[in-house]
Amino acid sequence: MVYDVVLSHVPKMKLDDTFINQADVVSDLRDSLDASMKEYGYSIVKVLISDIVPSQKAKAAMNDINAAQREREATASRPETSKMLLVKQAEAEAESKRLQREIPNQRKAIISGFKDSVEDFAKAVSGSTPPGRGAIGLDDAILRYAKGYCGERSHQCDL
């Protein structure tokens, strides 16, 4: 009788629903068995289903269905992944080009700052040349200015 009741309820459900709604199957089975067994003076209080074991053919079909579903999801996500990679690559290229445009400006700023420093130094040197000494060359003045010494670390330059 249990076999007949199970066969009358379970085939109406999808196999996945059978696993998910096991409590509903138990309830339907209890109600059906209780109604049938009352004729014989028995009352069904509780029905336990310990495990649902589909046939090997049904298991293989379920595995194929699950594999196909995962493949569909993977196929759907591949273009999105490719799109994200392309966007990130484009962003990286744009940032690289932006930085390449900044390099000449940075070089110009360095040269301009160096030029201003040299001009300021040249003005300072030309106004502070001691009497009796000729003006020093610009290269020599830059080296002296950069070092802060005349070549010996023991005394400072007297320009």
CA dist., res. 64 & res. 34, Å (int):
38
**Mean pLDDT highest for which of 8-17, 60-69, 128-137?**
60-69
Instruction: Let me know: does 10 contact 26? Beta carbons within 8 Å.
Output: no
Amino acid 153 reads: R
3-state secondary structure at position 149: strand
CA dist., res. 137 & res. 126, Å (int):
10
Q: Which phi and psi angles does 156 have, rounded to 5°?
A: -85, 160
Contact residues for 147 (Cβ-Cβ < 8 A; gap 6+): 157
pLDDT bucket at 139, cuts 50 / 70 / 90: low
The 10s digit of each residue's pLDDT in 16-70 is: 777 787 888 788 888 888 888 898 999 988 888 877 777 788 778 878 888 888 8
Q: What is the value of pTM for the model shown?
A: 0.35
Indicate the domain borders of the chain.
1-52, 54-121, 128-159
